[in-house]
Structure 1
Amino acid sequence: MPNPLTHLGDMPVADFLRDYWQQKPLLIRNAFPGFSSPISGEELAGMALEEAVESRLVLEHSDEGPWQLRTGPFSEEDFLSLPRSHWTLLVQAVDQWLSEIADLKAYFRFLPDWRLDDVMISYAADKGSVGPHFDYYDVFLLQAEGKRLWHQGPKVDDSHPRVEGTPLNILRDFEPENSWLLEPGDMLYLPPQYSHWGIADGACTTISIGFRAPSAATILEDLAAELAHGLPQHLRYTDPGIAPAGNPAEIDAAAVGRLQQQLRSWLQQPQNIAQWFGAVMTEAKYPDTVALDAGEADDWREQLQEGAELVLNPASRCAFCREPASLFVDGESFPVSLPLAERFCANHRLVQEDIEAFPELGHTGGLIDQLVSQGSLIYPPEDF
């Protein structure tokens, strides 16, 4: 596994996190010196033929209207019928299928693993793009093959007008503030909500390393359900010492203040926020992919003794917390020793020596059995 980056170009990572992360864009020339793309456009198109792979095609000009969106899986005939220019193929979660792409994520471990999302790769014909738009998450755009001209505009939000007649969120009014031509190994960092537009200068391939950012609405909905499930029935709205009602129909400021105070106390009940957050942030983006491998390694005991290893499913996620010591895998929490949790999250694999160091791993119904049964632990895929 590669070591995390210590510099982004000439900039120390600590300086980047202090001055740029979630604050402003940064162009990083030669971020990966001598970079050679781990995947070609033809190979990416081959992946888009598969049912299990999420893929999309964006055509800027078509008889069906501007900025047409098609979803995969595709056929070879679909690609043969494409125009010579102005289209883009996007394939999600390529890191789940190719080890060379999964390895790229290790370079970004100067940020928490649980913030990393999947790696999307796009192949664009000449002048191909997905239009001027913005995202609600951070992204590093690594140029893999060919050249792409990136225009970066101001921060925008949902109130900005969109192009009509397309399911894509294309900004109607886009004024670039900066423009850069990226070549292989160059990388552009964009914080959330910065508008941007990448246009292929000849055929090109771009790798997008994105980051998870659940919305406030999602967090509050999930947290409220989690807390409500554990709150005892005797906790209710109360108003001891209430003053005589001036107007019996009024919900006055004192009532609202009491409710706000009670809400704060309910949020401080013994439920552990870290346990909930760890489960939420390790939920698999493609749980069906994880489930496909459930039980694949049921014979793991003998195999590990013979020198095999078990690895974290490429579609799985893991993290840990210290208080209480817990391991989170694919949205599930497992009480384990802190050294074991740290070791597994660092290596994403288990071998016989791990069982010798932590015998509880090998117990019937123990951690390995549970992770194998849910598909989170598997034998290394052939490509991995």
Structure 2
Amino acid sequence: MTRTERGPVTRPALSRCIRVPAEEFADRHWGREPLLSTAADLGVGFEDLFSAEAVDELVTRRGVRTPFIRMAHEGTVLPASAYTASGGFGAEIADQVSSDKVLAEFADGATIVLQGLHRLWPPIIDFTRALIDDVGHPAQVNAYVTPPSSQGFEPHYDTHDVFVLQVSGEKHWRIHAPVHVDPLRTQPWDQHRAAVARAATHEPVIDAVLRPGDALYLPRGWIHSATALGATSVHLTVGMSAYTRADVVDALLREVGDNAALRASLPLGIDLRDPEALAPIVEQTVQALIETLQRSDASRPAAVLGARLDAETRAEPVSPLATLDALETLDADTPVRWRGSLPVRITTVDDRVRIVARTKTLSLPAEAERAVRRLATGDVVTPRELPELDTESAVVVVRRLVREGFVVASG
């Protein structure tokens, strides 16, 4: 059994960002075309996730360091020394944010970029994890804080999909169709700088002002630029690094080592610069590769991409102190649940049930299997409610799962 937290069919985190049903978004928009959703469509703003006050707190009180902060002025990224300084006595770190310097640059028209908020700001940490469960791809969140009438970056495209969530202020967005469809990470926009600049002079596909509570989805490759209007603009950019068929190809190519013909050395003395010398070898290699791929199934790509997803995303955080306190009082009536966004594989071998996660494997007696599977559904239960275990044994199993970070107290 594999547990992959994807949430209910409604996909609640995703639904906050789109005005259409999730199924329609998947079929029509995901990786294909932009979607503009207004606050009236969505019904709920984004100030529970972030705010102008949160920006000030991060800049003034949190000791943020590069690369979690950067600044840009009219498309040019400023050197870190322009907005950072030493933390002073007791925190002699040279690249901590300097609120004085940030104020000076911001007042002069520079945009503040707060990066990696999915690791810094608690509401965004929780939202990002839920969104990853919904979309099945890694995500990150940055905040862009732009002073009035300023443009942070010139027209460009991203190599990942984005949701733009307007928190406060207004920003005028111009969206143009791609000049390079579905770019990979190795194909950034500056490789097509001239074509992007030309495309940005044409009639935009979307020309709209985002106001608080509005959201915009952009597939990778779509060209965009934005200008703040009459007040400071704060928006979140949720970047989603969608896995591609090229990633599946990379995973499949790992099987070439299973074919002895593909492991064979090239001839002694071959001139690697001579296409004619390589031609028969290329033909033979392609044929051997075809034969290898025709024998392939989804098991290796699933293992490779699954391991990559686990490495690029994080499960629900656990609180070390609170967890140890909970263990002290955990009894048969303590509500517990599976740790959010923690995928595992549950198997039974001989007289043991094995719970395999990315970073660890836990082995328990086989009689605990049904209890473990019940917990892994994600429902809130008490040890007393677990099947096929007496109360004392159920408490012991749950204590072990909590101690190892598979289960958390829900009270």
Task: Give TM class, smaller chain.
Answer: 0.5 to 0.7
Please point out which of 3, 11, 28 is paired with 2:20.
Answer: 11
Q: Which moved more, 1:323-332 or 1:125-134?
A: 323-332
- Residue matched to 1:152: 175
Using the TM superposition, give the Cα deviation of residue 204 of structure 1 relative to its aligned residue in structure 2, in angstroms: 1.4
Q: Distance in 1 between matches of 2:177 and 2:374?
A: 40
| Distance in 1 between residues matched to 2:256 and 2:43, nearest whole Å | 52
1:318 maps onto 2:342 in alignment: yes
Work out the number of aligned pairs and report it.
348
Q: Please state if 1:24 is matched with 2:24.
A: no
Give the direction of change, closer, same or farther, for the CA distance of 1:97–1:32 in structure 2 (3 Å limit).
farther
SS of alignment partner, residue 77 of structure 1: helix
CA distance in 2, matches of 1:106, 1:18: 23
SS class of match (1:57): strand
Q: Deviations over 1:144-191 (max 9, x none)?
A: 111111110121344865799xxxx99544334421001111111111
Shift of 1:196: 0.8
Q: By percentage of residues, which structure has more helix?
A: 2
Higher mean alpha-carbon deviation, 155-164 vs 69-78, is at: 155-164
SS where residue 97 of structure 2 aligns? Answer: coil
1:47 counterpart letter in structure 2: L
Residue in structure 2 matched with residue 87 of structure 1 by the alignment: 110
Whole-angstrom CA distance in 2 between matches of 1:275 and 1:362: 32
How far off is 1:129 after superposition?
1.9
Q: Describe the shift of the 1:238–1:180 C-alpha distance in structure 2 as closer, same or farther (beyond 3 A).
A: closer
Is 1:57 paired with 2:57?
no
1:10 to 1:212, Cα distance in 2 relative to 1, 3 A: closer
Give the AA of the match of 1:37.
E
Mapped pair 1:256 → 2:285: yes
TM score, norm. by length of structure 2: 0.64
Q: Deviations over 1:258-291 (max 9, x none)?
A: 412443267459x65433332211214589x97x
% same residue = 15
Q: Does 1:117 align with 2:139?
A: yes
- Report the TM-score when normalising by structure 1: 0.67
Matches of 1:264 and 1:248 in 2, distance apart?
Answer: 25
1:8 deviates by 6.8
The answer to whether structure 1 residue 35 and structure 2 residue 45 are counterparts is: yes
Match of 2:3 in 1: none
Equivalent in the alignment of 1:243: none
Partner in structure 2 of residue 237 of structure 1: 261
CA contact (8 A) 2:18 2:35 kept: no
- How far apart, in 2, do the equivalents of 1:155 and 1:189 lie? 14
Question: CA–CA distance in 2 between the matches of 1:339 and 1:115?
Answer: 30
Query: How far apart in 1 are the matches of 2:17 and 2:79?
Result: 34
State yes or no: 1:278 paired with 2:306: yes
Aligned to 2:240: 211
- Find the partner of 1:44 among 31, 55, 64: 55
Note the C-alpha offset of 1:203.
Answer: 0.3
Unaligned ranges ≥5, structure 2: 1-6, 85-94, 181-186, 264-275
| Counterpart Cα distance in 1 of 2:285 and 2:397 | 53
Flag the 1:249–1:256 CA change in 2: closer, same or farther, 3 A: closer
Aligned amino acid, residue 153 of structure 1: H
Is the 1:37–1:144 contact (alpha carbons within 8 Å) kept by the matching residues of 2?
A: yes
Matches of 2:126 and 2:174, distance apart in 1:
28
